[in-house]
Amino acid sequence: MDEFHKHSSPFLLVVYLLLIRSLFSTATDTITTSARIRDGETLVSSNGVFELGFFNLTNSPNRYVGIWYSNITVPTYVWVANRESPLTDRNGALTVTAPGVLAILNRTNGTVWSSAFTEATTQSPNPIARLLDSGNLIVKDAGDDDNFLWQSFDYPCDTLLAGIRLGWNYVTGVETYISSWKSDGDPSKGEYSSHVDPTGYPQMVLKKGSAFQYRIGPWNGLRWSGAPDTSNDPTYSVSLQMTRDEVRYTEGRVGDSVLSISRLNPNGEGVRSTWNDRTNSWTTYTNVPADNCDSYGLCGPHGSCNAGTSPSCGCLDRFVARDPESWGRADWSDGCVRRIALSCGTDKFLKYSAIKLPDARNTTYNVERRSLAECQLDCARDCSCVAYAQLNISGAGSGCLFYHGDLIDIRVMASAGQDLYIRMAAAEPGDVSSTNRNGGNRGRKRTIVIASATSVAVMVFMCLLFVYVYGRRRKNDTIVGLFSATHVKEAELPFFSLPTILKATDNFSNKNKLGEGGFGPGLLEDGQEIAVKRLSKTSRQGVNELRNEVMLIAKLQHRNLVRTLGFCAQGEEHMLIYEYMPNHSLDLMLFDQEKSRLLDWQKRFDIINGIAKGLLYLHQDSRLRIIHRDLKASNILLDADMIPKISDFGLARSFGGNQTEAQTRRVVGTYGYMSPEYAIDGLFSVKSDVFSFGVLVLEIVSGNRNRGFLLKDHNLNLLGHAWRLYMEDSSRKLLDPCLDEAFNWGQVERAIHVGLLCVQNSPDDRPSMSSVVFMLGNEVALPQAKQPGFFTERDISIDHSSSSSNPTVTHNEITITWTQGR
């Protein structure tokens, strides 16, 4: 070195020192267990596009660990690790430790954030963390390049990079979604979030809290139905993958030549942008919502929004405003109704073109390659099917999408719209190709053909008219005893004649009788399998409850609610006709020593989630706010795929406007499921249904009934027993002994905890069903459960297994036995 100094110029010395410095400061993309990234140091992806390190935002001392674009001048953060727990000084460090956990440490080496790690996660004795060229921060074993222990792409923030897969993992119950920052200066989780909603058929939605703000439409094989047409852009790709275990959506630019991001801003605006090197800025090429027609459900049921007209909202053709006075005030929330009511069996379908398909939460679908004609036949056979569309527009005959219930959130599309075929009364003019995209017939010329008729033809017509009128009068006379003409119109349920039901059930043959008031199997002439609930001829109270059920359930359509096909009211016979449920009711399987073995943990957890989503629909997402009031295991039916369906709405009550609570002198329902405030004071609300749901959850987990539960070491009911085990940190003892070891204990523990939160004594302490659905599907911290209702020990001299009830409680007198038709 001395010789070098002696014979080298000062310039060469400087070059030598810079070379030495560069060798020791070369950026790396990897952290090992023997090193850590301190504040002021960074990781850089091998392609130089992304950088990870500590940063702070303008006018804030808080320090965050995040990922940003390294080679552009505008600070653009695409992921933040500790968005909810910032550091308050520059003494933090990022480290990776065995068995494979990333952690952010503070000045005292305390952990302020760590990556997700569960018992099911593969452990590594030699883990590393690496920032990939995609912007994905991964943790993996140093010798395994194929399997990740953890990745930031599973936990995105407000930015959707190419390669992030939004959607649901049904095996783990975990959802991947993006959520806005609280503000431009605060990266903590804000009000807005964007999700792939798999209810019905998958669609992309933007929410504020739990409320829909914007809906991009169901997936059509090429894109979301309501999204701009990206299929013709060779530089941009979108895809949706659906399997039994997951549904995942990805998007992004093709190739690395253009930087592109999709971001959800703090104000709820979704923006797609590309980097422009010429202007040194981000250029927005798509943003949603783009206009007022993007506001979810702006025009109400069966309304159509057109941003190019004033006013924007109008009724679909052949529909009229439900409340013309409100429409005159530009209040379109009540929407529209058909001007001629449907009558299943004679209806037809009209084509509405170039629209965004309606909300897909109340849909069913068939993924088999089928033509539109086959879709129409399938929909026509199902009286609850109100519309159909092609499921996959990427090729001819690519499945069917069937709509049930109200058609909500339709808008006219300037381009890339789709066709929807809506069920209409046969008396409506037009055929399947006669209706334009606005749902109207504006400017369409009509030709009237006048033909002479012979006197013979006139006489034949008069005879036919007489027969028709007489038949209609006879039919209406049979209904009027149970329903007024107004009731029939409002119910919108098909009427089945008594001979049709007699033929389907073989004259209510005893060989088909499964219980009092129930008959089956039943088979309609078109092959539809049915279940029939027959009211006792001596029950007057049951008539009122049957009427209540008909009036309510016709307005409810959800995959976790039983579907009513129609009703029959002739003479002394009063019946409801339902879809066939091959696995009968939950109680018959859950509380049977042998059959309960068929309910493994995953089936039980799926049933819990299904009931929760059905109840959420009743409380929040349906046109009416419905309180069920008799939620119990026997009123949960299971279809062929073990999907749960909430049934029996005879005791249900609907709330309007902002009403959340009511009181009654006539307490109805079932002991063991009723909340304290309802059973004692007659107060019922959504929170009384939440209590019943909590009881169901604990019954499903344990395999025991709440009513009649008894152990030798105490006299508590099932709720009290579950709470005592929870307080002793022994909740595992509650699990049904018939379950083998193939279960996810994290799911079981979460289900028990949520169940106990639902049965807390005070209604104010119980969560809403939207919170329940969120807590079941996400690994979030849960609050401490408080003492459940009816916790006091009972007198063991009372026979708790008896079905007798307190005489001050009025029972549901309508027959609740279900029959299954085949």
Distance, CA of 791 to chain centre: 33
**What pLDDT is stored for residue 666 in this prediction?**
64
- Residue 630 catalytic? yes
Q: What is the residue-wise DSSP string for 635-697?
A: GEEE-TT--EEE---TT-EEE-TT--EEE-SS--S-TTTS-HHHHHH-EEEHHHHHHHHHHHH
Whether 821 has a pLDDT exceeding 60, the answer reads: no
- The segment with the largest mean pLDDT, out of 288-302, 443-457, 487-501, 566-580, is 288-302
Distance of alpha carbon 290 from alpha carbon 302, whole angstroms: 22
- The segment with the largest mean pLDDT, out of 215-224, 313-322, 362-371, 434-443, is 313-322
Residue with the larger pLDDT of the pair 666 and 736: 736
Whether 431 has a pLDDT exceeding 60, the answer reads: no
Give the residue from 687, 678, 679 showing the smallest Cα distance to 660: 687
Whether 442 has a pLDDT exceeding 80, the answer reads: no
Parallel, antiparallel, or unpaired for β 111-114 and 101-105?
antiparallel
Close Cβ partners of 548 (under 8 Å, ≥ 6 residues apart): 649, 650, 651, 652
579: confidence class by pLDDT, cuts 50, 70, 90: confident
Residue with the larger pLDDT of the pair 320 and 779: 320
Whether 537 has a pLDDT exceeding 60, the answer reads: no
Residues above pLDDT 90, as percent of the chain: 42
Residues above pLDDT 70, as percent of the chain: 76
Parallel, antiparallel, or unpaired for β 77-80 and 64-69?
antiparallel
Residue with the larger pLDDT of the pair 106 and 742: 106
Amino acid letter for position 477: D
256: confidence class by pLDDT, cuts 50, 70, 90: low
**What pLDDT is stored for residue 401 in this prediction?**
94
Domains annotated on the chain, with CATH: 27-155 (2.90.10.10), 156-290 (2.90.10), 294-424 (no CATH), 459-579 (3.30.200.20), 586-777 (1.10.510.10)
**What pLDDT is stored for residue 170 in this prediction?**
82
Whether 816 has a pLDDT exceeding 80, the answer reads: no
**What pLDDT is stored for residue 103 in this prediction?**
94
Q: How many C-beta neighbours within 10 Å does residue 126 have?
A: 14
What value does the mean pLDDT of the chain take? Answer: 79
Question: Given the structure tokens 């037009």, which residue do they identify?
Answer: 430
Residue with the larger pLDDT of the pair 194 and 122: 194
**What pLDDT is stored for residue 161 in this prediction?**
92
Residue with the larger pLDDT of the pair 235 and 313: 313
Whether 277 has a pLDDT exceeding 70, the answer reads: yes
**What pLDDT is stored for residue 14 in this prediction?**
38
Average pLDDT value for residue range 417-441:
69
**What pLDDT is stored for residue 471 in this prediction?**
47
Q: Which range is least confidently modeled, 39-43, 413-417, 589-593?
A: 413-417
**What pLDDT is stored for residue 232 in this prediction?**
54
For residue 212, give the 3-state DSSP assignment. strand
Whether 795 has a pLDDT exceeding 90, the answer reads: no
Residue with the larger pLDDT of the pair 430 and 603: 603
Contact indicator for 752, 726 with CB cutoff of 8 Å:
yes
**What pLDDT is stored for residue 469 in this prediction?**
44
In sequence order, the β-bridge partners of residue 114 are 103
**What pLDDT is stored for residue 31 in this prediction?**
95
Average pLDDT value for residue range 438-460:
35
Q: Which of 382, 630, 689, 736 is catalytic?
A: 630
Q: Half-sphere exposure of residue 723, counting CA atoms within 13 Å on the CB side?
A: 25
Distance of alpha carbon 483 from alpha carbon 491, whole angstroms: 10
**What pLDDT is stored for residue 661 in this prediction?**
62
Whether 810 has a pLDDT exceeding 50, the answer reads: no
Whether 772 has a pLDDT exceeding 70, the answer reads: yes
Q: Which range is least confidently modeled, 367-371, 391-395, 430-434, 699-703?
A: 430-434
- The segment with the largest mean pLDDT, out of 219-233, 552-566, 617-631, is 617-631
Q: What is the pLDDT of residues 176-207, one digit of tens each?
A: 999 999 999 999 999 999 999 988 899 999 99
Whether 73 has a pLDDT exceeding 50, the answer reads: yes
Average pLDDT value for residue range 725-729:
93
Whole-model pTM? 0.54
- The segment with the largest mean pLDDT, out of 116-125, 228-237, 253-262, 806-815, is 253-262
**What pLDDT is stored for residue 484 in this prediction?**
42
Whether 485 has a pLDDT exceeding 80, the answer reads: no
**What pLDDT is stored for residue 397 in this prediction?**
57
Whether 24 has a pLDDT exceeding 80, the answer reads: no
Whether 684 has a pLDDT exceeding 60, the answer reads: yes
CA distances from 388 to 103, 384, 405, 410 (A): 51, 11, 12, 14
Distance of alpha carbon 744 from alpha carbon 260, whole angstroms: 38
3-state secondary structure 424-449: ECCCCCCCCCCCCCCCCCCCCCCCCC
Number of alpha helices (DSSP H) and beta strands (DSSP E) in the chain: 15, 45
Average pLDDT value for residue range 687-700:
96
Q: What are the strands, taking DSSP E only, across 667-799?
A: 683-685
Q: Helix axis angle, 686-702 relative to 769-777, nearest 10°?
A: 30
